[in-house]
Amino acid sequence: MLHLRLITPSGRTDEVVRLIENTVGTTHLVVLPGAARNPSGDVVMCDVAREAGDELLTGLQKLGLDTTGSIAVENIDLSLSKRADQAEADAPGEGADAVLWEHLTEETHEESTLSVTYLAFITLATMLAACGVVLDNAVLIVGAMAVGPEFGPLAGICTAAVQRAPRLALRSLIALLVGFAVAMAVTAGFSLFMDAVGLFTKDRLEADRPNTGFIYAPDWFSFVVAVLAGAAGTLSLTSAKSGALVGVAISVTTVPAAANAAVALIYGDAHQTLRSSEQLLLNLLGIVLAGTLTLLLQKWLWSTQRKRTAA
């Protein structure tokens, strides 16, 4: 269940209440006339089943409540109420399958912002992966994959494509490109330092690497894994099962490929640099393609479900 707290202009409260009452899956409606001070107006609260949440939020936005008042949404972790149980039973579909598009757009907007923290995480992840490729250490590679924050901008690009939000697409693309560029540049400098102190060597990089050789060996399996990971990651975002993102992060070769390319570049190994770059681009393409198609499918399914409910 979701809890909505609304601030409505007094002249529009009746419309808002009618919309809530006519939305299948709502309950616990409360109206506090004149309770709001900034902005001034009435306070309206209600609970709504997650699967009916997007429909209600869309209706509230059509009433202009996001500009003339306020819409706040919270997840309810526990609700002991027969009315709430009935609301969930009445609402179409399953809560786990529901997509809150406004929440998804807001979340991906936040995750795809080019910030100091984002740059720090992707740079540290790439440096960690650089140590992993030189040492042929799979544990370090997995750790670097888990630390990397690149799925945020990738999800932002997918969401922007489906929602037709050019600003979100541009913001996400900038975060992705600048993030990898900065991370690879810093990792190249880090590799030069490690070489100077004798910890990195060209012989180690070009030696037989049974645990990490796949990083610069792109093939169809790389693309297939990226597609599956992109679909799984998108589902984890839309269903609020964020724990699945960890599994997604350690199944695609993005940060390790960028790290291998940076290290190979300073040693003049054109083959590994080129092949690692291909691996990186192949994984990014697979994730974006799968994520976009997954969102389009979810949007179509919920649109069909709404039409059936209305009929």
pLDDT digits (tens, 9 = 90+) for 141-156: 999 998 889 988 998 9
Residue 308 banded pLDDT, cuts 50, 70, 90: low
Determine which helix (DSSP H) or strand (DSSP E) holds 3, and give its type and residue range.
strand 2-8
pLDDT tens sequence across 24-46? 889 999 999 999 998 899 999 99
Token output for 256 = 């390790």
Contact between 7 and 69 under an 8 Å Cβ cutoff? The reply is yes
pTM value? 0.80
Q: Which residue has the tokens 């997604």?
A: 248
- pLDDT, one tens digit per residue, over 246-277 is 555 656 789 999 999 999 999 999 999 999 99
Residues 6 or more apart in contact with residue 99 via CB below 8 angstroms: 54, 238, 295, 298, 299, 302
Is residue 176 within 8 Å of residue 309, measured between CB atoms? no
Q: How far is 114 from 175, CA to CA, in rounded Å?
A: 5
Taking Cα atoms as reference points, which of 303, 308, 310, 302 lies closest to residue 96? 302
- 10: Cβ contacts below 8 Å, ≥ 6 apart: 33, 34, 41, 42
In this model, does residue 305 exceed pLDDT 90? no
Q: Which element (helix H / strand E) includes 33?
A: strand 26-37
159 vs 90: which has the higher pLDDT: 159
Checking if the pLDDT of 222 tops 80, the result is yes
Q: What percent of the chain has pLDDT over 90?
A: 59
Average pLDDT over residues 299-307: 73
Angle at 43 (CA atoms; ends 41, 44), nearest 5 degrees: 130
* Token representation of residue 170: 């541009």
Rg (CA), the chain: 24
Q: Is the peptide bond before 39 cis (omega within 30 degrees of 0)?
A: yes
256: closest CA among 131, 172, 152, 154? Answer: 131
DSSP letters spanning 192-231: HHHHHTTS--HHHHHS--TTTGGGG---HHHHHHHHHHHH
For residues 241 and 93, which has the higher predicted lDDT (pLDDT)? Answer: 93
For residue 261, the one-letter residue type is A
Q: What's the pLDDT tens digit per position in 73-126? A: 998 888 889 999 898 888 776 656 667 777 777 777 777 889 999 999 999 999
CA–CA–CA angle 183, 187, 193 (5° rounding): 155
Say if residues 250 and 145 touch (Cβ distance below 8 Å). yes
pLDDT, average across residues 284-289: 94
Mean pLDDT of the chain: 88
E strand or H helix at 170: helix 166-196
Contact 10, 48 (CB under 8 A): no
